[in-house]
Structure 1
């Protein structure tokens, strides 16, 4: 019998170090989810999340930022999954704009405790991102120019009005000149998963967002049964209203932990 003790101890130690056990322990002992993964959208990169990152890390969160290649939905989901795999416990997965499609597909990951959509797209499984625009008003200030290779940029002359109306001229110019083009074919890719069907969701809607019809944003958020926060901001809400975004993520982390207990 005594020969079994080392084996039992080893098994118990292995169980305590397993990702599932660690996730449960993190939620239970910390009182809330402590990891946040931020996913940027089209025409941008992860650097725009810096104000939200600074706010959340000051609150004690461990924040990771995905750098999407914007080459295909599969590539962006793979980039997000790599970051989720590195989390040491449950995480809130956050997506801005096109990043909403990415977290919808990638959010079935077992580390994801909740989803936050920041002026973001939220298709269903079996739908494309492009279908979300059907029946809603056009956005004349958000002008995309597509090159021969199929990659799109926002028209430079329209960039501030369409993407970053409430930033300074200097910040808008930097965002314009550092924009990352997206393979426009991604909007026609059919989703396989809809994480919002099984994970609790929250949404921040920027009321001065010129990239989407407001009715479209509200329709998507209501369809996924998200808890909605509205704020006066442009599409660059992650830069201009970081506290509102961080407050929503913080609320999601606390609420998701409560549901897990």
Structure 2
């Protein structure tokens, strides 16, 4: 752990100096500097990144948190693409959980230079979340999913506090449960086209104590996309329980983009 912290701290310093060097050599303050675009997962919205965003902004980065409707994969990809098209410089595109499917599909945008998967699905061409899960035990948290009459899913309070985010405070879990966004269950059956990770360098954060996406599957996905892998002792929501560690990984990706 000590060696990881030292390495991550070095990456943070490198990212900061690379960004400053970019501005100094180009004479710009925005056009050629990396922007971090954050894509939330199911049962949440852009506020899921509220603890990570200030850490990235403190390094002088522009950050955009996409607000996806979770009504269909196509809708979420279209919303994310609009956010990407609005950028004028290189983008590090980050996705959590189901958001990994979204960035896999939307990440082919020319602005995107690298991808960061945070305890996220990274499907291959023609694959869906259902396809990826079929060879693994059903995650414990799935037992706490509730569907309404239109097929939109939410998690119970127990589902959030015991399985989605068991390593956050009870107050934080209650807030997450109260503000969650219902997700169309059909989203998990929709397949992606040519995955962006085939042509973009990727990072992957594996959550060791994840009850929503099997850690063993995460490790396989990270290997499949040839990602730089960091493993954290966290729940399915490390961006909330360990935001500094997640920010360090994002900054590593930013540093690589800033050097080019």
The verdict on a shared fold, with TM-score over 0.5 as the criterion, is yes
Structure 2 CA distance for partners of 1:92 and 1:130, relative to 1, 3 Å: same
Q: Distance in 2 between matches of 1:250 and 1:80?
A: 21
Runs of 4+ in 1 over 3 A off after TM superposition: 25-30
Q: Distance in 2 between matches of 1:92 and 1:137?
A: 32
The 8 Å contact of residues 26 and 89 in structure 1, kept in 2 or not, is answered as: no
Secondary structure, in 3 states, of the residue corresponding to 1:141? helix
> In the alignment, what sits opposite 2:157?
156
Q: After superposition, what is the alpha-carbon deviation per residue over 1:122-141, rounded to whole angstroms, capped at 9, x for unaligned? A: 00111122111021122123
Structure 2 CA distance for partners of 1:174 and 1:90, relative to 1, 3 Å: same
How far off its partner does 1:28 sit?
A: 7.1
Structure 2 CA distance for partners of 1:124 and 1:26, relative to 1, 3 Å: farther
Q: After superposition, what is the alpha-carbon deviation per residue over 1:148-196, rounded to whole angstroms, capped at 9, x for unaligned? A: 2010111233321111101100000010111111101011112113000
How far off its partner does 1:34 sit?
A: 2.2
> In the alignment, what sits opposite 2:220?
219
Secondary structure, in 3 states, of the residue corresponding to 2:77? helix
Secondary structure, in 3 states, of the residue corresponding to 1:126? coil
TM-score by length of 2: 0.86
> In the alignment, what sits opposite 1:189?
190
Coordinate RMSD, CA, aligned? 1.7
TM-score by length of 1: 0.85
How far off its partner does 1:33 sit?
A: 4.9
The 8 Å contact of residues 73 and 102 in structure 1, kept in 2 or not, is answered as: yes
Of the structure 1 ranges 52-61 and 124-133, higher mean CA displacement relative to structure 2 is found in 124-133
Is 1:239 the counterpart of 2:240 in the alignment?
A: yes
> In the alignment, what sits opposite 1:177?
178
Secondary structure, in 3 states, of the residue corresponding to 2:114? strand
The count of corresponding residues between Structure 1 and Structure 2 is: 234
Q: After superposition, what is the alpha-carbon deviation per residue over 1:92-121, rounded to whole angstroms, capped at 9, x for unaligned? A: 000000000000000000000000000000
> In the alignment, what sits opposite 2:127?
127
